[in-house]
Structure 1
C-alpha cells in the first residue's frame, strides 16, 4: 500500500462551469446555503476571497462527524475555471501528512463537468484512501447544482454578491 495517493472523479451538472466556479472559488462562504447539511460554513481567515494565498477555515460534516480544515488557495486558473486548495491544518492532519484538492469546471454544450482531484500523503499505511471525502465533494457538487438551477435568484445573487 502506497503512502502517496491520488483520487479523481467527474460530476456532471446542469449549471454552467462559470457559475459553479464562481460560487466555489470566489464565494465559498455561500456553499452552506446550497448544502447546509454538509458544509456548515467557510470563513476567510486571511487574504481576499478567490485570491492565491488566501486562507480559508472550513466546517464540514462527513463520516457522521464534524470536521474543520484550514486551507490555502494555492493556484487559480480563471481561463480553465480551476483552482487548488492545500490543507494547512485541521482534522485531515490526523490521517494525512499533506492533502490537496483541485476543482476544475469544464464547460459542455449543456451544463458542465466538475472534476475533483485529491492528492495526499497518508501518515502510515493503515490510513484508508479519502473516498468518503471525495464522496462529500460529489454530494456538495450536486447540492450546489440544484441550488444554482433552482428558483432562488442565484443568477442575480452571483452577480451582486
Structure 2
C-alpha cells in the first residue's frame, strides 16, 4: 500500500537540521529570555496582542514593538519535528504503516493523560509553561515511540 500524506525521505534530514537548533533557541528564549535585536520590529499602530502593548515616540505616535525570536524557534521546532515524524522511511511497508499509526495513537493518549495530570497537579503561571510544552509533546512522544518500536525493540527481541 502506498503511504499517503508523508514527506519524502530526504525531509527527515531537513527536519533534524531545523529541529535541533530551533529547540536549543527555544530553550534559551524560555529560560534565559534571549532575544535577537535584528528580529525586533515596530509597526505604526496599536496591536492588541503585542508584548509591549503601547509605545510612543517623541511625536506622540503610537506603535507596537515585536520581537520574533520566540516565533522563529517555535515554527522551526514544529516544522522540524513534523518533517522528522512524517517523512517516509527508505522501506515503507504495511508493518511500518501499522507502527506509525499505533505510535500516533499512543502519543495522543499519552499526551492527554499527561495534560490531565498536569491540569490537576500544576497551577498558576507554571501551568502556562505546561501548555507551551504541550505544543511539542505529541510529536516528540510519537517520534520516540515510533523509532523505539522500529529500531530498538527488535534488537531486544532477538536476545
TM-score of the two chains, using structure 1 as the length reference: 0.29
- As a proportion of its length, which structure holds more helix? 2
TM-score of the two chains, using structure 2 as the length reference: 0.29
- As a proportion of its length, which structure holds more strand? 1
